[in-house]
Amino acid sequence: MKPKVFITRELFGESVDRISQYYEVDVWDRYHQPPYEVLLRKAREADALVSLLTDRIDCNLLRNSPRLRMVAQYAVGFDNIDVDCATRLGVYVTNTPGVLTEATAELTWALILAVSRRIVESDVFVRWGEWYRSGTAWHPKMMLGFELMGKVLGVVGLGRIGRRVAEIGARGFGMKIIYYDVVRNYEAEKEIGAEFRELRELLREADVVTIHVPLTPQTRYLIDESALRLMKKTAILINTARGAVVDTGALVKALREGWIAGAGLDVFEEEPLSPNHPLTALKNLVLVPHIGSATYEARRAMADAVADNLIAFYEGRVPPNLVNRDVVNLRSPGFSK
């Protein structure tokens, strides 16, 4: 009998076909995520789960799923999963790193440019007739933004995505790159001239601050009120990582009171963001709905990576994107043991 996998949303078909050669597949085919109670019930009968970042895979669920051997996350971030608990229970956890690096780095640049050149504000200006009503085709002071060439890009978290954003900044826009991370990246320092800074120094110095750290207890509210107060009045903040890395209340204050010049956000503490949220009333801000990896290329490759991880585990191999390496000491990969 094939092991059972519950997939919490529709992925690209070819990958599901590949998975179903090894697993009995149960796909949640609705637009909305399965409620927690459904997730609990499905997980209890499953040998493996394919989860999204919106699925809460907590210790309660893991403990109540005696057959569960693997959680294959369809995302690079996995802060929705209690990984320590999974490790203790011998459950393998995988993610999809690498394949969405380009998509997320490119979206980061779309936000940097949209904020620095006021693209969304300008679009509204044209579309809603304000330009036409102004009766002026061109004015020396209309919609002024700022240039990136020669400015300082501050990268918070120089992993795969941060590294790629830095590279585009250095090679494409002639920016000076400074970065903060818990580990030094000597390769990036050599290749693109990135200079290490402590976080507080980076915040003081950067014209663009862009966040690329995972959400962990250590990075929650890393960018809080005191951090925002260190930034230049002319600087902008970009977040395509996780909403809770930034204290949203403090950010609203910073934007409203002009401590910083603007922001571009792809991620939020509460998703979906309510249209009544104070953020939506601010002008110096571009908001997009968590679409960092939303390209055809990335989403297909993510589904492929999920299939690769599931199939490797089935075949008794350590999955290529195993997150909790320690689990291998507790239980071998595969369903026979």
Q: Which residues are catalytic?
A: 242, 271, 290
Return the residue of 77, 169, 262, 333 that touches ligand GLV, per CB under 6 A.
Answer: 77
Q: How far apart are CA 236 and CA 143, in angstroms?
A: 16
Is residue 209 a contact residue for ligand GLV (CB under 6 A)?
no
Given the complex with ligand GLV, which of 161 and 202 has the nearer CB atom? Answer: 161
Given the complex with ligand GLV, which of 166 and 227 has the nearer CB atom? Answer: 166
SS3 of 305, please?
A: helix
How many Å from the N-terminal Cα to the C-terminal Cα in the chain? 15
Return the residue of 9, 160, 197, 299 that touches ligand GLV, per CB under 6 A.
Answer: 160
Is residue 238 a contact residue for ligand GLV (CB under 6 A)?
no
Do 215 and 242 touch, CB atoms closer than 8 A? yes
Residues paired with residue 277 on neighbouring β-strands, in sequence order: none
Taking residues 83 to 122 in sequence order and writing x for each that binds ligand GLV by CB under 6 A, - otherwise, the string is --------------xx-xx---------------------
Sheet strands (E) in the chain: 4-7, 24-27, 48-51, 70-73, 92-94, 152-156, 176-180, 195-196, 208-211, 236-239, 262-265, 285-287
Given the complex with ligand GLV, which of 100 and 223 has the nearer CB atom? Answer: 100
Using CA atoms, how far residue 276 sits from 95, 115, 290, in Å, is 33, 21, 18
User: What does the block give as tokens for 334?
Assistant: 């595969």
Total of residues contacting ligand GLV (CB under 6 A): 15
Given the complex with ligand GLV, which of 158 and 261 has the nearer CB atom? Answer: 158
Estimate the crossing angle of helix 119-127 against helix 101-116, to 10 degrees.
60
Taking residues 24 to 53 in sequence order and writing x for each that binds ligand GLV by CB under 6 A, - otherwise, the string is -----------------------------x
Minimum distance between the CB of residue 161 and ligand GLV, rounded to whole angstroms? 4
- Specify the pairing of strand 152-156 against strand 176-180: parallel
Is residue 75 a contact residue for ligand GLV (CB under 6 A)?
yes
Minimum distance between the CB of residue 75 and ligand GLV, rounded to whole angstroms? 3
- Footprint of ligand GLV on residues 239-258 (CB under 6 A)? none
Q: Computed from CA positions of residues 111, 113, 119, 121, in that sequence, does the dihedral angle turn out positive or negative? A: positive
- Footprint of ligand GLV on residues 286-305 (CB under 6 A)? 292-293
Question: Phi and psi for 288 in degrees, rounded to 5?
Answer: -130, 155
Given the rule CB under 6 A, which residues bind ligand GLV? 53, 75-77, 97-98, 100-101, 159-162, 212, 292-293
